[in-house]
Amino acid sequence: MTVHSRREFLKVGGLTLVGLGFVPGRRWPAAAVEVIEMRSDAAGSRVWFDPIGLRVEPGTIVRWVVRENVHTTTAYHPRNDHHPLRIPEQAMPWDSGYLVNPGDHFQVMLTEPGVYDYYCKPHEAAGMVGRIIVGKPLGPGAQPFDYWTGRAGTEGWHRVPQVARKAFPSIARILTEGRVHVAGPAN
């Protein structure tokens, strides 16, 4: 277990707490916790978040856990390598950094209502993305992928790859099912 292998991140309202390393005895505020697994087949040919779509209430802690391969969970936000803004404007973007070993995890408390789209850095081009709806489907993440085209201040933003666009579950499906799974080899 390395310092980076158990990186934890907690956002509470406008306050951001970052902890590096596992701290015995650390207590998170009482809140619901939802787990999203970061998966891969043995060859690294198929990679996915499970569930890929999730609906939660504001104040829920979402925890990503590596099961296989090396992954990140990274919010679609201009601060993250000029990716387009696809989380609520008032929300703090996150980037887990590389989670290298099985069991490594990263978590964030989502308090701002809206749609949160995120991706895995080494696997975005392979379509490894996910979507969380906190409360209601609001904000930039509820807009079409290219909603920002032509707007001032968006110069240099990268477009979401086509393979990733196709991978996102629809907002309607997430609202209906609550949790959306992909048909991975292990399912």
Partner 1 sequence: MKRFAVTALAGALSAGMLFASPNAAAAQSKAPPGGAYQQVSKLVPLPDFLPGLGTLYVDPATLPAGPFLAYDHQGKLVSSIYMIPLSDLNSHKAFDNLKIAKEKVDHVDMVFNAGHPGVAVPHYHIIVWYVSPTEAAKLAK
Binding site for partner 1 (CB under 8 A): 4, 40, 42-47, 69-70, 97-98, 100-101, 121-123, 125-126, 128
Q: Least distance in Å: CB of 61 to partner 1?
A: 25
Q: Considering the complex, state which of residue 42 and residue 172 has its C-beta at the smaller distance from partner 1.
A: 42
Strand partners, 44: none
Q: Distance (Å, rounded) from C-alpha 116 to C-alpha 112?
A: 10
Q: Considering the complex, state which of residue 45 and residue 151 has its C-beta at the smaller distance from partner 1.
A: 45
Q: Considering the complex, state which of residue 151 and residue 166 has its C-beta at the smaller distance from partner 1.
A: 166
Within 8 A by CB and 6+ apart from 155, the residues are none
Within 8 A by CB and 6+ apart from 30, the residues are none
Q: Least distance in Å: CB of 123 to partner 1?
A: 5
Q: Distance (Å, rounded) from C-alpha 101 to C-alpha 95?
A: 17
Q: Least distance in Å: CB of 86 to partner 1?
A: 20
Q: Considering the complex, state which of residue 72 and residue 111 has its C-beta at the smaller distance from partner 1.
A: 72
How close are the terminal C-alpha atoms of the chain, in Å? 28
Q: Least distance in Å: CB of 27 to partner 1?
A: 29
Q: Distance (Å, rounded) from C-alpha 55 to C-alpha 62?
A: 11
